Every structure is written in C-alpha cells, then in structure tokens.
Amino acid sequence: MKRIKLNNGLLMPQEGFGVYQIPDYGDCKQAVMDALSLGYRLLDTAQAYKNEEAVGDAIVESNVDRNDIFLTTKIWVSNYGFEKTQASFNESLKKLNTDYVDLVLLHQPLGDYYGAYRALEQLYQEGKIKAIGVSNFAAARYVDLVSNVKVIPAVNQIETHVFNQEQPIRPYLKEYGTQIESWGPFAEGKNHLFTNETLVAIGEHHDKSAAQVALRFLLQSGVVIIPKSTHIERMKQNLAVWDFELSAAEMKKIQALDENKSFFVDYSDPQFIKALNSWEV
C-alpha cells in the first residue's frame, strides 16, 4: 500500500480504517482486529467516538507490532484549552493502551482551539505525538491557524468525497504542505453514491463497484482515505482499490460530479455550532 510523506517526514498509509459510529466495545474491537488481519495499518478514532479503549485493546491483542500501526485520535471541543487538552490527551493514551500516538487532530474549529493546538505542539516536541493536525478546518480558518502557530498542521481531515471534492482549500493545503484526509469518503451513501450512473459505468469497465471507483478517485487525487465498515467482506472490497487505475477521461467525468458543498455540516448555522459546543466527552 502506498504511503504519503507528511510535512515532517513521517510516512502515513494512504488508506486506513475509520471507527466512527462504532461505539459498542465488542463490535469496534472485532472490527479493528479484522481490519488489522486484512492489512490495514492506519487506524482512525477520536475522543468523541467513545471507542478509544476498544481500538487500543484490539491493537494489543492483534499480532501486529505497534510500530507498524499508524494511530490517529482527535481532541474534542469540550477538552480544548492548553491544560485541558494535555490532560485529555493523557487520558486518551491510557484508553489507547499506548505511550505515543502517531497523529492527533483538533476535531473542530471551535472554542479555544489555539490553546488546544499549542498543547499539541508541546506534546509533539516532547515526542508523545509524532504529528499534529486539524479536522474540519475550512480554508479561511485553516489559513488563519497556520499563520499563527509554530508547527504547521501535517493533516487536515475534512469531508471529502466525489460530491464534495474540497477543491477550494487544495491550493492552500499545498502552499503550506498539509495533507488532505477524507472523512466520509462514501458520503454515507447520500446522493445515491453506490448506484450513481457515472461511477457504476466506470466500475463496470474495471470490474469494480461504484464504491471502489469512488475510493480510487480519491486516492488518485492524492487524498488519504479511511473507509469504515463492520463487515469483513466490505473491508476487503475497500482494500481492493490498488490494482486498477482510472484514466484521465474517467477522472474528469468524476470531477464533474462535484457539488462543492457539505452534505453533513454547516458552520454558518448557529444551532449547529451550539450543538457541537454543548457536546461533552
């Protein structure tokens, strides 16, 4: 599997396994162990997912060396602020049953994210975190952050799929050397992604599904992906995207599907912001 070199030299697998919306301990632990057995080496969790313990236990009980796993977690808004972020990170370390995390992201561009980011910078300098970054930071908020911190984010994990390709932020990420990572690479099935005529037709040409075409498009666009499934057969299918290549014409057809809008979040909506700030973990 291809690995991406981050702006600090750290190598990150371009495809990994996400555990969003798998809060049940047993289900999450089994899913992670299945993923590791299939060859996934990038694992993505978060404080807000409430499954760090399951991920950590799965890693320990697997036959995979911890040093071969690229582990990501995210700090939630209610834990922002310099001291609170450091304390919550130490709690995450305990839950994950590890003494370091490969990548830690700020989950939302809300609250005291500057204090939280400076805490991550210190933890990075101490070697407890190998890389730091952000999630859900749109272009303006991202540029403001990178203009006022010492360590440029290694990753910005944002909603990225065939219907929301995040083109407006790409030039800024390239300018500062921040890797784009997709959450929601399938758009959670919205817009009938799995039966989209364009994706299905291209998939038939390669003997692949629409879902596999959607993932391959992101990979060829330089995006890190973390598809999620609790079904081992679908995990296998999500990995089977490295043995074919989309042509320039096929890429162009998929690029035309871009609606340049979020299907899930609206940071201009006061009620949405209020809900995120009231959610504690």
Strands annotated E in 113-233? 129-135, 155-159, 179-183, 224-225
Residues above pLDDT 90, as percent of the chain: 99
Between strands 3-5 and 224-225, the pairing is unpaired
Give the residue ranges of the annotated binding site for substrate.
107
The dihedral of CA 57, 62, 63, 69: what is its sign? negative
Q: Which residues pair with 13 in a beta bridge?
A: 3
Per-residue pLDDT, 248: 98
Per-residue pLDDT, 29: 97
Please give the structure tokens belonging to residue 31: 């899913």
Q: Token match 């679908």: residue?
A: 234
Q: Decide: helix, strand or coil at residue 134.
A: strand
Between strands 11-13 and 3-5, the pairing is antiparallel
- 112: amino acid identity, one letter: D
Q: Which of 25, 40, 49, 113 is catalytic?
A: 49
Mean pLDDT of 38-60: 98
| Whether residue 100 lies in the annotated active site | no
- Domain extent listing, the chain: 11-278
Per-residue pLDDT, 83: 98
53, pLDDT greater than 90: yes
Of 85, 42, 46, 72, residue with least CA distance to 132: 72
Give the residue ranges of the annotated binding site.
107
Domain 11-278: CATH superfamily, name plus number = NADP-dependent oxidoreductase domain (3.20.20.100)
Question: How does pLDDT run across 211-267, given as a tens digit for each residue?
Answer: 999 999 999 999 999 999 999 999 999 999 999 999 999 999 999 999 999 999 999
pTM attached to this predicted model: 0.97
Per-residue pLDDT, 1: 81
Question: How does pLDDT run across 147-165, given as a tens digit for each residue?
Answer: 999 999 999 999 999 999 9
